[in-house]
Homo-oligomer: A and B are copies of this chain.
């Protein structure tokens, strides 16, 4: 769902971040991470799927869990098949609301982009300095 840095041409990129003081409590990267954790049931598998180091993946999970009143991700320990990581009820909720916000943003983007597109070049002129 997140925009790759390899995108080319003219486009309107609108990014929503939930900030808490200086910290990004939630944004496009964390939303993708929650999707990957829900799909894989594991923090390390989710990180691998997104091409992130385990350390970075862990730090993103920790950041979300420190910003929200209740953790968004929980890891169960023990049991017949060992542990497992999953989204909490709040995790599912925040992800769903954020995806809805992104859908509304996409609509706004689609609506406004034609106002700018005809004024833009196909690609930037080379820098004159």
Interface residues of A (CB under 8 A from B): 5, 7-23, 25-26, 59, 62-63, 66-70, 90, 93-94, 97-98, 100-101, 104-105, 108-109, 112, 115-116, 119-121, 123-129
* Chain copies in complex: 2
Q: Hey, which chain B residues are within 8 Å of A25, CB to CB?
A: 10, 120, 124
Contacts A94-B116, A112-B104: A124 and B21 contacting too (C-beta < 8 A)?
yes
Q: Per DSSP, are chain A's interface residues mostly helix, strand or loop, or mixed?
A: mixed
B19, A68: Cβ atoms under 8 Å? no
Closest to A126 in B: B66
Query: How close is A57's CB to chain B, nearest CB, in angstroms?
Result: 13
Query: How close is A118's CB to chain B, nearest CB, in angstroms?
Result: 8
